[in-house]
Chains A and B, each alone.
Chain A
Amino acid sequence: MRWRALAHRFVAVPLALLAIAVAWNIYIAFNDHGIIEGEVRDKAGAPVVGATVIFFERNFIYYEEKQRATTDAQGIYRFTDMKTHIGQLEARTADGRKSERRQLRLWFRSQDTEVAPLIVETPRA
């Protein structure tokens, strides 16, 4: 009887782990297009058109510029095929307004992510 319980545990735990691993990998397979998208707004909350969003990728200890995108008429930017899991985002406009650098950490490489709106403001002198 005791042995049956043991066999149960020894079979059940690895199976549960295996199931979790498989489920996790299936989830990854459907969500790893490397799409990072979000909105750029000004302080009043209006979408900013034509702002440049820069993605900085972590390179060991410092962050290095990797890719740029521009916001469309709705103030939305979109990076595709970002093969990374850690980086920073910053929005800049042509008239010198900037957003803070937003730290971005993903659960797996090229996870599709929706970023909370980046707010641009005039940097203090």
Chain B
Amino acid sequence: MRRSPGSPAHWPRHVIMIVVCFLMLVPFYWVIKTSLTGENIYAWPPRIIPVDPHLFNYVDVWYMIPFARYLLNSVIVTAMAIAGSLLFNVAAGYALTRHFPGRRWIVVLLLSCMLIPFQATIIPAYLVTSWLGVLDTWLGVALPLLSTIICIFIFKASFEAVPPSLIDAARVDGLGEWRIVTRILLPLSKSAIATNVILTFIWSWNSFLWPLIAIRSPDMQTLPLGLARFLSVMEDTTGALFAFVVLVLIPGLAIFLMAQKEFIRGLTSGATKG
């Protein structure tokens, strides 16, 4: 006995969900409002709607800090992480579809590696990176993200769904292994690629602890570091800090809204695997 949508018994649920959504959106509103406020943001009582809204806080933040430089660092690190992780994960995912001695052992190893949170490795990871000589470089920041276990398994599952006869036919036609991957498997795994790109983007763009450790010089800082630094240097000034926050959040939100399905699929695919 399903009730049709919109029937009277649904409205209490709508009310609850609207209240929940309102509460979830308040922080967004508060920060956007503050970033547009022209008057003193510490005035009491705070205005719900700014009296004199303008966008100049965004201009200020561009010049108050080397915003362009932070943005460049973030973009380069993220691009390196995406390109590298795509290459390595595709290769590893393909290798795991083949039968070879010790395959099971490697799968178990990877699955157990998934249990180790990166945050629990920061001290040795720092030492390893300094030993490799890539501290304070873009590569050093991107390196730990270059390969992600979830994505390897997503690719493995996606490749296994391709009919083997297709691969065999290609092999008979004399295509090399890498060509089989790029010409036949990848065009059939676009959703896996999207998941990999989006997850790596979010992780790399938002990552804070690792750049905080791996980066020393001011002009190598990424956006999250710049944000934390801006906060500590001039927290009591204007709405510029909040303009910075909004600017930094926009790319992540945009990517998420554009590819919600792939993003959620990627996050939960770890969950659905037995």
CB distance from B261 to the nearest CB of A (A): 9
Q: Is B190 an interface residue (CB 8 A)?
A: yes
Quick check: is A63 within 8 A (CB to CB) of the other chain? no
Q: Is the interface of B mostly helix, strand, loop or mixed?
A: helix
In Å, the complex CA distance between A108 and B63 comes to 9
Give which listed residue, A3, A105, A106, A109, contacts B190 with CB less than 8 A.
A3
Q: Is the CB of B259 within 8 A of A10?
A: yes
- Contact A106 B254, beta carbon cutoff 8 Å: no
Q: Is the CB of A13 within 8 A of B254?
A: yes
Q: Which of B54, B63, B191 contacts A85 (CB 8 A)?
A: B63
Who on chain A is nearest to B259 by CB?
A6
Q: Does B258 contact A (CB under 8 A)?
A: yes
User: Quick check: A3 and B63 within 8 Å, CB to CB?
Assistant: no
Query: Which residue in B60, B190, B254, B258 is a CB contact (below 8 Å) of A86?
Result: B60
Question: Would A10 and B258 count as touching, CB distance under 8 A?
Answer: yes
Within 8 Å CB of A6, what residues of B?
A: 190, 194, 258-259, 262
Asked whether A107 is an interface residue with its Cβ less than 8 Å from the other chain, the reply is yes
Residues in B with CB closer than 8 Å to A106 are 59
Q: B residues engaging A (CB < 8 A)?
A: 54, 56, 59-60, 63, 190-191, 194, 234, 237, 254, 258-259, 262
Query: Which 4 A-B residue pairs are closest in the complex by CB-CB distance?
Result: A105-B56, A3-B190, A9-B258, A85-B59
Binding site for B on A (CB under 8 A): 3, 6-7, 9-10, 13, 60-61, 85-86, 105-109
- 9 further contact pairs, Cβ within 8 A, besides A6-B190, A60-B237: A3-B190, A7-B190, A10-B258, A10-B259, A85-B59, A85-B63, A86-B59, A106-B59, A109-B63
